Amino acid sequence: MQTTGLTDRPPGFYLDESSFSWNAWTLVQGGVDEFGRPWPLFFESFGDWKTAPYIYLLAGVFTVTGPSILAARAVSAIAGLATVSLLAWLGYRSTKRPAIGLLTGAAALLNPWTFEPTRLALEVAFMPALVAAFLVVLHMRPPTRDRWVSSALALAMVLALITYTYTLGRLLGPLLAAGLVLYVGQRSWKAVLGTWIVYAALCVPLLLFAATNPGALTVRLAEAGYLGGPLPEIVGRFVEQLAGNVDPGRALWVGDHNERHHVKGIMGSLLVGTLLLALVGIVRAAGYAVRDPWARYLLYGLVVSYVPASLTTDPFHVHRLIAVPVFLIALTIPAQAWLLGRGRAVSLRRATFVLLAVAVLAQGAYFQIRYDEAARGRGHWFDDAYPGLLNVALATGETPVYLVDGIVPAHVHGLWYGAVRSVRPERFVHLPRDTRAPSGALVLSSESDCAPCVELASGGFFRLYRVP
């Protein structure tokens, strides 16, 4: 389920996947990124700057396996299993009930929101695991007077990984860190303050990079966001985006409109049973939040998880909302504990638990079966035409093959797929957009129109042609 069909469900390999994997392979080959920068902290890609931990992890894997689509996607799949394990452990540890641990883990495994991102070789696949790890560390080692040093170090390390691993983490990490103020008390202020100090120290390289590369770390927000206008307009847009992101109808029935992120036509991104349990958990946590900092933090974390995506214009972008399902699943734990607890109406509550557990498992199994069928036909969303065109180009035996960017910067596909096929990068020549290859050249491009040319093959965004 989590680790099966990684190369054909979905088929192909999206451009961003190729970019991450190619940069990881250039690290293995020479300790540089695709532009020749040695051991970078951030990787320039398509006008944006990608964060480093995922690429360095891929490089470590490729050192053992060589460049491979299966290996790249397996890294993400294993991150998905880590999310399942961590949330299952959180459910069990906080209640001492195996049934709660199992259902919590099943919810993480079966929900499309946490499952689908782990099918792709993208850094977002690691965010649910990191957020879940943060909650586990916070629950196991809450800020206290007795062990504030170890608590501060552990929490700060996970917060730093969240911050460095994905673009939204640059905002989510500080928000999660700020929320630790909910733990401040006579016995815990040292641990919270210590966490902030260590976390700030770990973020110094990021801050230095931002200072020496103005705008580099906010370029994606500038492109996809709406900040910079009048304050009332910004506030109004934020409220509008937030309303769309918290819309339960969208979460349950539609999901992300981007078909690279979500298989349409099956269901939304969240299981009905999970949402119902989370709503009960929210009510329960709110009831004792005044006296319980853990309950306060779960509610706070859920709220701030909506903030990064609500600062952009895309509606219900599940990758930018990737922390939301982790907090929702965590909030099912107090609901499960109450339903299985003692007191009034025990039989009714336990029957409700069984009903909701069956709903989670049945709808989750239905999604998995339908996903297995539908994902095989999604190759056009993942540039599956490119490898065939590259094979035709390589079969001619000509050198060089010119890679010309057009609608998308597709040259990275050529370099990555070439590496997978053990083709040396020197066999390719990359020409930027609107640059004409010499007469007689064999060109593989993403141009919408190659005229005048002799087209040899085409598919998706891509065409293989010869220059007259």
- The residue extents of the domains of the chain are 15-377, 385-466
What is the distance between the alpha carbons of residues 449 and 462, in angstroms, rounded to a whole number? 10
pLDDT at site 224: 87
pLDDT at site 1: 74
Which helix (H) or strand (E) is 459 found in, with range? Answer: strand 454-459
Query: Alpha carbon of 48 to those of 215, 219, 221, 330: distances in Å?
Result: 10, 6, 10, 33
Q: CA dihedral defined by 419, 423, 426, 428, rounded to 10 degrees?
A: -80
**Between helices 346-374 and 272-287, what is the axis angle to 10°?**
140
What is the distance between the alpha carbons of residues 458 and 313, in angstroms, rounded to a whole number? 33
What is the distance between the alpha carbons of residues 424 and 262, in angstroms, rounded to a whole number? 35
pLDDT at site 154: 94
What is the distance between the alpha carbons of residues 260 and 138, in angstroms, rounded to a whole number? 33
pLDDT at site 50: 87
pLDDT at site 344: 84
Residues β-bridged to residue 466: 442, 454
Place of tokens 């779960």: 298
What is the distance between the alpha carbons of residues 263 and 265, in angstroms, rounded to a whole number? 7
The model's pTM: 0.95
| pLDDT per residue rounded down to tens, the chain (468 residues) | 788 999 999 999 999 999 999 999 999 999 999 999 999 999 998 878 888 999 999 999 999 999 999 999 999 999 999 999 999 999 999 999 999 999 999 999 999 999 999 999 999 999 999 999 999 999 998 887 667 788 889 999 999 999 999 999 999 999 999 999 999 876 778 889 999 999 999 999 999 999 999 988 888 888 889 998 899 999 999 999 999 999 999 999 999 999 999 998 899 999 999 999 999 999 999 999 999 999 999 999 999 999 999 999 998 999 999 999 999 999 999 999 999 998 888 999 999 999 999 999 999 999 999 999 999 999 999 999 999 999 999 999 999 999 999 988 999 999 999 999 999 999 999 998 888 899 999 999 999 888 889 999 999 999 999 999
> Residue ranges of the alpha helices (H) in 68-121?
69-95, 98-110, 112-115
Check the CA dihedral 54-55-58-64 and report its sign: negative
What is the distance between the alpha carbons of residues 359 and 271, in angstroms, rounded to a whole number? 8
pLDDT at site 145: 63
